[in-house]
Amino acid sequence: MFSQLYFKNIFKRKNDSKRQRSNDPGAPLTRRRHWLPFSKIAGKLFLVYILIVFLGGLLLSIPGFVNNVNRVVRDGYGNILGTYNFSWNYLVGLFTALSAFSDTGITISNPAADYSFWGQLIILILIQTGGFGIVTFKIMIFVWLGRRISIKDKMLVQGERGSSNFGHTIDLIKNSFIFLIILECFGAILLFCNFYFSSASIEGKYMIDNVTYHNFWRSLWSGIFHSISSINNAGFDIIGNSSLMPYNSNYFMQFVFMFQFVIGGLGFPTFYDLKRKFVAWRRKEHAKFTLFTKINLITYVGLSIVGVLSVWLIEFTNLNATAGVNGPYIETILRNSTSNWNGFMNIFFNTMSTRNAGYSTVDMSKFLPGSRIVMSVMMFIGSAPSSTAGGIRTTTLAVIIITIWSIIRNNNSVNVFKRKIPNETVKRALVVTTISGALIMGAIICISAENPNIDVLNAFFTICSAFGTTGLSTLGFTELYHLGVLSTLVLILLMFIGQLGVSSTLLVSIRGTGEKEYSYVEENILIG
C-alpha cells in the first residue's frame, strides 16, 4: 500500500510539472500542442482562416467556376481602356477568395462576367462565413442540435466575434446571428423588387453584365447576393465592372445598401446591447449600455459626420480646382451632378461607403485629392471590433484620443464615462495603431517600387482600402489586374490582417502570459 501511494505521488508530481510547463493547469497530458508555434485561440483561428482561403482560391481557379474568355474594359463613355484574358489562374482565385472571405471587395476580376453561378455562389459563401465568423456557425449548429458547447469553443468565438464579457458570449452570438439573418432576408426582398422593377438609369454609359430588369431569377439572385454582401460589408457586386454606378440616381437602392452596411459595421456586442435596451424598454425597466457600446456608437457616428462634412467642404470649396499637370477636372462630384440633391448623395453615399462597405456610385478617382485622403483615413480607421469590418477599429481610435486628452490634463489614469480603461488596453491600442501605420508605409513602398507608373495617392487609397477591408479603389480595373506578383501578395496580406485583426495577428504566435516575476531598475529618458 505504501509503495502504491509513493509511486502515485511521483507520477502526480511529474504530471503537475508537465501542466506547469504548458502554462495550462487543466491541459491534457499530451505534447501535440507544442510543435505548432501558435497560441491556443488566435493561432487556431489563423490556421482555420488560412485553410478556408486556400481552399476557396482553389475552387475559384478551376473550370466550372471560372469563365475563361477574353474581355474588353471600357470607361463610362464606351472608350476602350484595355483588354484582359481572365483564365484559370490560382493567384487571381486566391486574391478573390481572400477578398471575399475578408469582406473586402477589391477585385482583379469581374464577378458578374468572369465567374459562373457556382463561382458566384462560392464567393457568397466565403462572404457569409467571413462576415459572421467560422466559429459562429459552429456554435449555432451546436445550439440547434442541442449539443453542449465547450469552454474552448466559447473562447474561440469570443476571440472571433464575442465581447469582453465571457458569460454572455453564447447569448450574444445567438441574438446577433438571428438579427443579421432577418436583416439579410428583409434586404434581399427589397433589393429583389428594386432590381426587378427598376432599370439602370445610365445603362448606356456603363457595361452591365447582369441585366435584371423584368428578369425574375436574375433579380432574385441579385437581391440575395447583394443583401448578404452589403450586410457583411463585402463590397462585391454582380452588376458589372462599375459597382453601383449604373444606379447612381436610384436612391432607394442606395439607402437600402447604407442601412445594411452601417448595421453590419456596428459589431455583435452592440447588437446585443441594443436588444437588451429594447427588451428593458418594453418591460419598463432600465438597462445600461456597456462601455464598449457607448464608445463604439459615439465614435462611429462622429467619424461619419466628420467624414461627410470634410469631403463636402473640400468638394464644394474647390469647384474650379485644377489637377496640376493633369489639367482641369473634367468631371467633379458636384459640378456635373444633375441636381444639388444628386451631388449631396454622391458625397454622402460614397463617403459612408468608406466605413467598410466598398460600394461606389461614382468613379472614386474623380474626387479631389483632399477628399481621397480623408476617405483613406476613414478606411484606415474602419468600424467596430467583432463586426464585419476591418481597420484599426473605432474603439482603438477612441482609446488613443482619450489617452491623449488624459495626458494633456495630466491625469494619472485614462478615464471615460466614470470608468478606468486598463493600462493593457491603452498599450495595445498604441501598438495596434503604430504597427498598422508601419504596414501601410511598407505596402506603399513595395507597390510603388514594383509599379512606378501608379500614383502614390492612388496606391495609398487602395492600400488603406485593403487594410480596412473596404474594397474601394481609385486604380483602374486594368491597373489592378496587371499589378505585379509582389503587389498582389502585399494586398492579400493586408486583407488577411484586416480580417483577422491586428490584435489577433499579434497574438497568433504568443504562448503563455509572458509575464516575469522581476523588473529592471527604472531610468527616465527625454522624449518629444
pLDDT tens profile 98-155: 888 888 888 888 888 888 899 999 999 999 888 887 777 777 777 777 777 666 666 6
Residue 290 has a pLDDT of 83
State the CB neighbour count (10 A cutoff) for residue 401.
15
Nearest Cα to Cα of residue 233 among 255, 261, 268, 254: 261
Residue 13 has a pLDDT of 46
Rounded CA separation 378/399 (Å): 16
* Phi, psi of 487, rounded to the nearest 5 degrees: -65, -40
Strands (E), 264-380: none
CB 45 within 8 A of CB 162: no
- Spell out the SS3 assignment of 460-503: HHHHHHHHCCCCCCCCCHHHHHCCCHHHHHHHHHHHHHHHHCHH
Residue 257 has a pLDDT of 92
Q: What percent of the chain has pLDDT over 90?
A: 19
Residue 70 has a pLDDT of 59
Provide the Cα torsion 29, 31, 36, 41; round to 10°. Answer: 0
Of residues 265 and 206, more confidently modeled = 265
Most confident by average pLDDT, 85-94, 382-391, 429-438? 429-438
Residue 205 has a pLDDT of 52
Rounded CA separation 137/156 (Å): 12
Per-residue pLDDT reduced to its tens digit, 384-400: 887 777 788 888 999 99
Q: Is the pLDDT of residue 379 over 60?
A: yes
Can you give the pTM of this predicted structure? Answer: 0.81
Nearest Cα to Cα of residue 224 among 249, 259, 189: 189
Residue 513 has a pLDDT of 52
Per-residue pLDDT reduced to its tens digit, 238-275: 887 778 888 888 889 999 999 998 888 887 788 778 87
Q: Is the pLDDT of residue 374 over 90?
A: yes
Q: Is the pLDDT of residue 425 over 50?
A: yes
Q: In this structure, what DSSP letter does residue 149 have?
A: P
* Phi, psi of 420, rounded to the nearest 5 degrees: -100, 130
Of residues 247 and 12, more confidently modeled = 247
Buried b (16+ CB within 10 A) or exposed e, 429-463: beebbebbeebbeebbebbbeebeebbeebbbbbb
Residue 418 has a pLDDT of 84
Average pLDDT of the residues in 163-187: 78
